[in-house]
A and B are shown apart, each in its own frame.
Chain A
Amino acid sequence: MNTIVILSVTGIAAMMSDVFKLKKALFGLSLLGLLIALVFSVYDWGQYASYFNQMVLTDNYAVVFTTMLIGMTFLWFLMSKDFFSSHSSASEHYALILFSLTGGVMMTNFSDLTILFLGLEILSISLYILAGSDKGNLFSNEASLKYFMIGSFATGFLLFGIALIYGATSSFNLQEISTYVQQHNGSLPAYFYAGILMILTGLTFKVSAVPFHFWAPDVYDGSPTLVTTYMLSVVKMAAFAALYRLFINCFAPVYEFWIPVFAIMSAVTMLLGNITAVYQKSLKRMLAYSSIAHAGYMLMALASPGIASKNALVFYLLAYAIATLGVFNVLYQVHKVTGREEIKSVKGLFRKNPFAAIMLTLCMLSMAGIPPVAGFFGKYYMFVSTLNGGLTWLVLIAVLSSLIGVYFYFKVIIAAFQEPELENTAYYRQPSDFTVLYICGILSLLLGIMPQFVAGLL
């Protein structure tokens, strides 16, 4: 709870900073706020405390995800200083990011469907604005509008589903719903199942799973690069945390009903995401499709619920978010220097900055799932838990689609090691430009060599 309070206060402070002429110190203040929130979040480990009439529950699951969310946002801040200095409305941007993070944290802590809904809305509404924050850019406006329209639609589904569940069980509380479902299993009304499907639809919209992914490429591609980074790393993490928490805690007794849905969704999502990514020339759009594919792998956790898949999901999300931040750091710098976001714009990186190219390779290998980097263990844990759940066919499809993935991830690696197209000695001169990339590359490697530090947390 402390975490939510601190984050909200930091956000409000950021909004007020214009009044007190604190704009210059805002960056440091936000980082400080995040750090304090991080400390409080870790402090909650093992406490299992309920707040606000059992509407929020900080169990270890919540702590792990909250910590990861804040940590990723912290890294994101480190690479995004420009985002705040180059726009006129910096303090609003700070506030929006912090509020959306607050929403994300609520989505990992909820034990009541209303909090889930509130969290999701706080998160989303901030993002609708952020997606359009590059006001002069047509694509940014399009992204914002599209995201808003389809996002509201999804929220509508979610709300409808919640209402139906309430109608069937007369409760919003996860624990109570779960108990009720357990007691009346077999005699539940049809609209209860309809409610599950509606909630499922609403939330899978947010994680961009096929067939509810149509908005994703345009929104991810059109939004300012740094906002896209934030969506792909932090927002995706929060959405998955919520989805998994809800289905495991609440609808576990009727798992036979929803497991096949997730299994099929997972297979289709990873195949479609990977296959479409192959054809992309723009690096940003390729990463957008690849993030859809990754959502498919993460859905495997929902197709085989249990302790193993919970840990697998945590590890996968962490590995994925770290790699994403690293790669987007490169994309952002490349865009700044060349003004383009194509895969071939990365050419010459090795020549100009060998270390950055190697770190980019590590992040890409992590995304492709090749040992010994973190992404491999993410996939590995996921495969083990799915095989354990008896879904061998799903694992085989996952293997197949990973192979497709290798093809386009390696295109980026190859480009990084090729000769540059334009000779420009001013490329990437500031070593600090790549700080986040370096951190992410090294973290990916460390997690790959010593996965046990994160893998067995829950």
Chain B
Amino acid sequence: MNNTLLIVLLWPLVSMVLSLLPAKEAAGKTAFALSLAGLLLSVYLFLGFVPANGMQQVMSYAWIPALGISFKIGMDGISLLLIMLTNVLTPMIILSSFGRKIENPKAFYALILLMQFAMLGVFVALDGFLFYIFWELALIPIYFICLLWGGKDRVRITLKFFIYTLTGSLLMLVSLIYLYLQTPDTHTFDIDAFYQLKLSGSQQAFVLWTMFFAFAVKIPIFPLHSWQPDTYVDAPTPGTMLLSGIMLKMGIYGLLRWLLPTVPAAVHEYGFLIMAFCVAGVVYASCIAIVQKDFKRLVAYASIAHVGLISAGVFTLNSEATEGAVFQMLSHGVNAVGLFFIADILMTRLKTRNLAELGGIVNNQKLFAIAFMIIMLGTVALPLTNGFVGEFLLLTGIYAYHKWMAFFAGLSVILGVVYMFRSYQAIMLGSRHLSDSDFSPLTISEKTVLVSVAALVVLMGIFPSVLLDTASPSVKALLSLINAQ
């Protein structure tokens, strides 16, 4: 039996323990090296993947047999791409924290690795209960990352974040138990059993709304987003990157893997309503982003707009939009990490992120300016960048579903240009001349992160088919499962 997936899953847990061993000063480097090793492992996993084979490397151990709970994991193209996203971003996130003052670094890096483990678990779990456990486990490290290393209002904000997401999680638990009780005689949490359930209309509606709430909070979908801007702004940068880069994808992945195939009839019935919420969120968040003064907060609102578009695509149930959603999850992850890192560089150098107080950085920071430019173009979906592929597919799919929906969703691109260009102009351009003492040159680790993000933006834009071909058969299989019922 092939155990690569299990090794990839457990590696962060091993890394977490190993990263606690060396001295304080070496904690960051150790964590970085270990997460790079994890990346290599997942590259090996990627190379061994056969897109046409559907769910692969499935393994199942009875965990609590009396309750039909098993440790069942496996991956298809969608899971694999998210595993890759997690394992590519984690080393970058760790690297991006180098040179920053972090108290108690051992605990900090250990929590990041624990987070990585939990998120990988969410992406590979094929048992409802296991999925829930990983889902909740991801919440605890990020809570402590925000609480212990966050900004000055962190206690209030992180508690709000925690209770908000826990509300969703518990409702999801209720609906998972509900599904579990509907399975035939010896109840089970197995995902295949969930797929085979024949639920009545009202049962489906109950499951849809309870489960949707959990995912909608995490993503977040308007109007359940109110925890997000504060939390993103107040969290330490690596925490924000984890939240926006990877963690919110747990919500979209949950929609795809757990919600849509389980209750297809309810999705057909209420899909339009949900999509209207998503699209409303797109327009709403974009408009708010335009008037933001703080760059980090601006990126936080932009993030709501982007994920709103992705979730709208998920509910169209056609293959263009769904593939677009999968692709856009990856691009958004990469771009968000890039943008939040830029916000962090500004903050550490100039002690402000206020657009009005910035300007003129381009005059002596060419590399920074170019990298920022590329990431920004990726965010506004210029052709040949990663954003274009995803948004194009998404808008095509949404157009096929409903014309006016696509019109409003398309506003995200236009409004995106407005707020991104406006902020680039305010931050980088202008006649003001900064000396090296105002804005010290980028360190090697900072350059590495910026260049790799920019490279990913371009590469994913030019060669999207590598990723799309991986996801495409799995997306088709998923959609046929949904439309069959």
Which A residues fall within an 8 A CB radius of B? 365, 370-372, 376, 380, 383-384, 387-388, 392, 395-396, 399, 402-403, 406-407, 410, 414, 417, 451-452, 455-456
Contact = CB atoms under 8 A, between A and B. Distances in A.
19 contacts: A370-B136, A372-B136, A380-B177, A383-B177, A384-B177, A384-B180, A384-B181, A387-B174, A395-B174, A396-B174, A399-B171, A402-B170, A403-B170, A406-B163, A414-B155, A417-B144, A417-B148, A452-B64, A452-B66
Interface string B158-194: 0100110011001101100110110000000000000
A456 B68 CA distance: 13
Contacts of A376: 136
B53 to A, nearest CB: 32
Nearest to A411: B159
A399 B166 CA distance: 10
Contacts, number: 60
Contact of B173 (A380, A392, A406, A417): A380
Given A370-B166, A371-B132, A403-B166, A455 B64 contact: yes
B14 interface: no
Contacts of B139: 370
What's the dominant secondary structure at chain B's contact region?
helix
B162 A410 contact: yes
Contacts of B166: 370, 403, 406
Nearest to A358: B107
B177 A387 contact: yes
Interface in B261-317: none
Contact of A383 (B140, B155, B174): B174
A173 B302 CA distance: 70
A456 B147 contact: no
A456 B66 CA distance: 7
What's the dominant secondary structure at chain A's contact region?
helix
B239 to A, nearest CB: 15
Interface of B: 64-67, 132-133, 136-137, 139-140, 144, 147-148, 155, 159, 162-163, 166-167, 170-171, 173-174, 177-178, 180-181
Contacts of A395: 174
Contacts of B148: 417
Given A372-B136, A417-B147, A451-B64, 12 more contacts: A370-B136, A371-B136, A372-B137, A380-B173, A383-B177, A384-B181, A387-B174, A387-B177, A392-B178, A402-B170, A414-B159, A455-B67
Nearest to A386: B177
B147 A414 contact: yes
Q: Which of A371, A392, A410 has the most CB of B within 10 A?
A: A371
A399 B169 CA distance: 10
B163 A407 contact: yes
Given A370-B140, A388-B181, A417-B148, A399 B174 contact: yes
Contacts of B170: 399, 402-403
A344 to B, nearest CB: 12
Contacts of B159: 407, 410, 414
Contacts of B174: 383, 387, 395-396, 399
A303 to B, nearest CB: 16
B10 to A, nearest CB: 15
B181 A387 contact: yes
Contacts of A383: 173-174, 177
Contacts of B67: 384, 455
A452 B163 contact: no
Q: Which are the 9 A-B pairs with shortest beta-carbon distances?
A: A399-B170, A371-B136, A456-B66, A452-B64, A371-B133, A403-B167, A384-B177, A414-B155, A387-B177
A78 to B, nearest CB: 28
B65 A452 contact: yes
Contacts of A417: 144, 147-148
Contact of A455 (B66, B178, B181): B66
